[in-house]
Chain A
Amino acid sequence: MIEVDGISKRFGKVEAVRSVSFAAEDGRITGLLGPNGAGKSTTLRVLYTVLKPDQGRARIGGRDVVTEALAVRRSMGAMPHGAGLYPQLTARENIAYYGRLHGLEGAALTRRIDEITRLLDLGEFIDRRTKGFSQGQRTRVALARALVHDPQHVLLDEPTNGLDVMATRALRQLILRLRDQGRCVLLSSHVMQEVAALCDRIVIIAHGQVAASGTPDELRRRYAEADLEEVFVRAISDVGERA
């Protein structure tokens, strides 16, 4: 369970996020949807404890992201924007490094990496250096790395960016599987179709604020629109007028 309660964050004169509140439940996929620069990444960065909010608070699994940052990090797997792998290390070494920093070691670590290699179908390139990997391969390794400690909360920033159709499809199936295992998945995207196809709940963010949130059906009803894209456009322009 991720609870966000009125967080704000400003960088100099720019107010990146303005009192954003929402909740993401366990066993649900929650999507942060918004145009580029809307504040999705900043919100996620606060949640995975890399940034501290200026105001408001957020809790993951009941723990505060500021005061209990280390505990939050243990129950959370994050895949920030861009894979950020070590090109000189093999895929296995990349994953093992994160596993060790999560406290896994020895046989338990080996077993877990084997498990995740099967899950994400990494077998073909698990022992190759990640230097020349395709975007899809990199994303899969980064995801494996984020999941190595079997986290309850999974936070993904633009996970399908740069992936081809097949890779996107495989990733989508994996995310659905994570949900079915009862995990709390929070992902961001600027692609409406992506979110519509995958998410149980949508939080539309624009200009650093929450423009609307709810299940896809709720949103369609509220705006009396059959097309989610229209909902998206109207929600964003509403906030734009207020701002």
Chain B
Amino acid sequence: MLWTVVGKELLDNARDRRTLASALLFGPLFGPLLFAVLISVVIQQTVSDVERPVSLPVIGAEHAPNLIAFLGRNGFEVERWEGDLAGAREAVQAGRQDVVLVIDPAFGERFQAGLPARVQLIQDASAQRAARNVNRARGALNAYSGQLRALRLQARGVSPEVLRPLVIDDVDVSTATGRAALLLGMITYFLLAAMLMGGLYLAIDATAGERERGSLEPLLTLPVTRSTLLLGKILATCCYMLLSLVITLVAFAIGLSFVSLEELGMSANFGPQVVLLGFLLMAPFVLLGAALMTLVASFTKTYKEAQTYVGVLIVVPTLPILFAAFLSVKPSALLMTVPSLSQHLLMTALIRNEPLDPGFAAISVVSTLALGGLVTWLATLFYRREGLMG
């Protein structure tokens, strides 16, 4: 009986193009596609930023020909600023220029005399976009300054090392995969969304849709308990969600193999093993999601109403992930009892190539399944209610 109901719901919904498209196409492919495009753009930007020469307008270039030559050798396209100082300030403020270098007319004179020679970097510290070019300009000027300092000291018979009491080395301990994981953490979000999308239409069609069509009443006159009917509907929803999950995982695996994360100094760990383990970790969420959507949809009177409420419901599982992102929580046994959050933490660890704690995984699977069972039970209780007929 149960499988008769499951089979009918699967067939019925497979014939509906809208359900099929949302379950097997839009839901699962939207995430990976968006993700691949996003990463490609980031890569392009990062890579081109390093390579592209920075254009640097200069006022008073004639006062310091050596400095200008140095900048030219170090990846700057030096150009004369056509206009006065006030014009340059205005251009930077308006964002037309990232940075303008102003060389003091007394530069040559003071330089010759061994006095500090003055240059100005006109910049807008609040402009995030310009910060990169400003920093490169400042770095180049510092390098020039350092070079001259060493030469001058040497000319006076002093070792330049005297003026370097401290040597600071930055040691970046984040691994390449670790950095990638920051971005890849979004993957769990897409997986959850695709799963819920996959079951959405079936959950609504099998409950609110059934009632609106008028096919619920004759169905209830058959020698099948209401619990069996509802369980069949939830299981059918689960099937679509699982299918959607598999497609999304595979799409991610394929999509990420085309994106050259290595250029960003990252490597995504998304091989067949991650697909398989990821499926096992995410799959328990299917029952909970299906039961929740079915429960909410069976409260509503019409297809439209159900769409509204279940649409809101779909956002709920993404909230713990959002919290986790803001608070950057570490996995713990307690957090593993929270559905969607535990899947997120485990998936992230998996993609980050960190060892998977079997205890944590077990807590996640058991607690998510238990909660799914509880909601399923609540849904069957509700389905026995007489007001179901509307």
- A interface residues with partner B (beta carbon < 8 Å): 45, 48-52, 70-71, 73-74, 76, 78-89, 93, 97-98, 100-103, 129, 142, 145-146
Nearest CB in chain B to that of A77: its residue: B221
Within 8 A of A (CB), among B159-185: none
Contact between chains at B220 and A93 (CB < 8 Å) = no
Which chain B residues lie closer than 8 Å to A101 at the CB level?
A: 1, 4-5, 222-224
8 Å CB contact of A129 from B1, B13, B15, B217: B15
- B interface residues with partner A (beta carbon < 8 Å): 1, 4-5, 8, 11-13, 15-16, 213-225, 386, 389
Contact between chains at A50 and B223 (CB < 8 Å) = no
Q: How many A-B residue pairs have CB under 8 A?
A: 74
CB contact under 8 A between A97 and B218, given known A50-B389, A89-B12, A129-B15: no
7 pairs of residues in contact across A and B, judged by CB atoms under 8 Å: A50-B220, A78-B218, A84-B214, A84-B215, A84-B218, A88-B13, A142-B218
Alpha-carbon gap, A51 to B213, bound state (A)? 19
| A74, A85, A101: residue with the most chain B Cβ atoms closer than 10 Å | A101
Nearest CB in chain B to that of A86: its residue: B12
Which chain A residues lie closer than 8 Å to B220 at the CB level?
A: 49-50
Alpha-carbon gap, A52 to B220, bound state (A)? 13
CB contact under 8 A between A84 and B213, given known A51-B389, A93-B11, A97-B4: yes
Which chain A residues lie closer than 8 Å to B214 at the CB level?
A: 80-84
Least CB distance from A211 to B in Å reads 26
Which chain B residues lie closer than 8 Å to A51 at the CB level?
A: 386, 389
Which chain A residues lie closer than 8 Å to B16 at the CB level?
A: 88
Least CB distance from A144 to B in Å reads 12
Nearest CB in chain A to that of B232: its residue: A101
Contact between chains at A79 and B223 (CB < 8 Å) = no
8 Å CB contact of B15 from A48, A82, A88: A88
Least CB distance from B95 to A in Å reads 57
Alpha-carbon gap, A84 to B219, bound state (A)? 9
Alpha-carbon gap, A102 to B8, bound state (A)? 14
Least CB distance from B19 to A in Å reads 9
Least CB distance from A64 to B in Å reads 15
Which chain A residues lie closer than 8 Å to B218 at the CB level?
A: 78-80, 84, 98, 142, 145-146
Contact between chains at A76 and B215 (CB < 8 Å) = no
Nearest CB in chain A to that of B216: its residue: A84
Which chain B residues lie closer than 8 Å to A88 at the CB level?
A: 12-13, 15-16
Which chain A residues lie closer than 8 Å to B222 at the CB level?
A: 73, 98, 101-102
Least CB distance from A152 to B in Å reads 14
Contact between chains at B11 and A89 (CB < 8 Å) = yes
| B8, B221, B224, B389: residue with the most chain A Cβ atoms closer than 10 Å | B221
Contact between chains at B217 and A84 (CB < 8 Å) = yes
Contact between chains at A73 and B221 (CB < 8 Å) = yes
Alpha-carbon gap, A97 to B215, bound state (A)? 12
| A76, A98, A142: residue with the most chain B Cβ atoms closer than 10 Å | A98
Alpha-carbon gap, A80 to B11, bound state (A)? 24
Alpha-carbon gap, A97 to B213, bound state (A)? 16
Least CB distance from B225 to A in Å reads 7
Alpha-carbon gap, A103 to B16, bound state (A)? 27
Alpha-carbon gap, A14 to B35, bound state (A)? 57
Least CB distance from B293 to A in Å reads 20
